[in-house]
Amino acid sequence: MRTQVVIVGGGPSGLLLGQLLHRKGIETVVLERQTRDYVLRRIRAGILETGLVNMMREAGVADRMEKECFVHHGTCISYENELFDINFKKLIGQNVIVYGQTEVTHDLYDAREATDGKTIFEVEGVQIRDVDSDAPYVTFTADGKDQRIDCDFVAGCDGFHGVSRQTIPETVRKEYEKVFPFGWLGILSETPPVHDELIYANSSRGFALCSMRNDNLSRYYVQCALTDTVEEWSDEAFWDELKRRIPESIADELVTGPSIEKSIAPLRSFVSEPMRWGRLFLCGDAAHIVPPTGAKGLNTAASDVHYLNEALAQYYLDKDSDGIDQYSEKALTRVWKAERFSWATTNLLHRFPDQSEFDLKMQRAEIQSLHYHETAQKWFAQNYVGLPY
């Protein structure tokens, strides 16, 4: 088998790259370790930056998103019983939308099937070979048979635990990581959202987040210890704790109900450099992870896709390799800015086990600065809606 670009990983970043390249006449094959149904059962964040929204339109997969999304003109931050709004529309004339990552992935799979794009599911033993040469290829097992795809390039969109990053030799690869000393306990419930905008809450009991997926599907989180387990948290205990961490006026409006999904996610910042080795390019979680506080995970993956799509189009359509040569540098410049914003918001809103009284006073002063100073709010808004590519 032969194609121009092998995309390892059938999540949203791999599918978006495949769809964008297809519209430019560039052939791809997508390899996915799981089944399509498994991929579509993953529950992930749903805040889409302006750049990702525009890329969905460019990829021709925006129709359902445009009809069903929630447009958010700002967000809310609370500390103890204080609540204030950061109005993106007023501050910088932009907004974000809420549209679940599962829905993004669903739309992209439908589009790929409509164009007869080749996707191979339930692949095992993927090996990316000879990417430091002019003739890379990928081997794998599917349907019990060993297979090989020869290609020009490989896009590694297979996540933190995938094979793509590990293909880059340790002598070449440098990794940076910060693990935070807490996690997020999250639940999904078939209840109406408690507020029109997301609420990020800093309280003496720890961080909380009130979010949503649609008019009757809400997503809530509370900061928890890394040693906690889902089994230790009943629905009743979760709702009680959430109410303690948000302003009373919001807690009084909260509609509770049985959870339909409950999980604990650890928080970490991670970056692997470089994001290109030979004819292999890393995208998304294969190269970097951000704590979810800044809503940057999917959006940072999308910015990688933007740079790689442009680079490959330049290579194939213009016979110019400058884009692929500059891919890693361009992608990492924006990645580190997203890491900074996610790190800053995580430090701003969470309780850390080693915080002194001085640290807590400084944290409160930082939140009040954001509350009362337009310059601080503009910086927050610009980063939240997404820095330009």
Residue 193 a catalytic site member: no
Is a pLDDT exceeding 70 seen at residue 45?
Answer: no
CA distances from 94 to 125, 382, 387 (A): 44, 9, 11
CA-closest candidate to residue 263, choices 41, 14, 11, 39: 41
- Whether 181-266+352-385 and 2-72+95-178+268-348 are alike in CATH topology: the answer is no
* Per-residue pLDDT tens over the stretch 95-153: 999 998 899 999 999 999 999 999 999 999 999 999 999 999 999 999 999 999 999 99
Q: Is-catalytic flag, 384?
A: yes
Q: Which two tokens stand for residue 221?
A: 């989180």
| Entry pTM | 0.94
Query: Catalytic pick from 99, 307, 315, 384?
Result: 384
Mean pLDDT of 190-200: 96
Per-residue burial over 270-296, b = 16 or more CB atoms within 10 Å of its CB, e = otherwise = bbbbbbbbbbbbbbbbbbbbbbbbbbb
Q: What is the pLDDT of residue 43?
A: 65
Cis omega (within 30 of 0) for bond into 12: no
- The structural architecture, per CATH, of the domain 181-266+352-385 is 2-Layer Sandwich (3.30)
Q: Given 12, 136, 291, 292, which residue is catalytic?
A: 292
pLDDT for 229 equals 97
Evaluate if residue 154 carries a pLDDT over 70: yes
Binned at pLDDT 50, 70 and 90, residue 215 comes out as: confident
| Tens-place pLDDT, residues 66-111 | 999 999 999 999 998 999 999 999 999 999 999 988 999 999 999 9
User: 8: Cβ–Cβ under 8 A, 6 or more apart, which residues?
Assistant: 14, 31, 126, 128, 138, 154, 155, 156, 157, 158, 162, 163, 164
Per-domain boundaries in the chain:
2-72+95-178+268-348, 181-266+352-385
Out of 22, 106, 296, 306, the active site residue is 296
Q: Is residue 33 very low, low, confident or very high in pLDDT (cuts 50, 70, 90)?
A: very high
In total, the chain counts a number of residues equal to 389
Strand partners, 219: 188, 211
Top-level class of domain 2-72+95-178+268-348? alpha beta
Q: Would you say 333 and 307 are in contact if contact means Cβ atoms under 8 Å apart?
A: no
Distance CA(249)–CA(215), nearest Å, equals: 20
Phi, psi of 11 (to 5 degrees): -85, -170
Q: What are phi and psi of 304, to 5 degrees?
A: -60, -45
The active-site residue, picked from 200, 220, 221, 315, is 200
**Mean pLDDT over each residue of the chain, to the nearest integer:** 96
Is-catalytic flag, 296?
yes
pLDDT digits (tens, 9 = 90+) for 241-279: 999 999 999 999 999 999 999 999 999 999 999 999 999
Q: Which of 12, 22, 72, 316 is catalytic?
A: 72
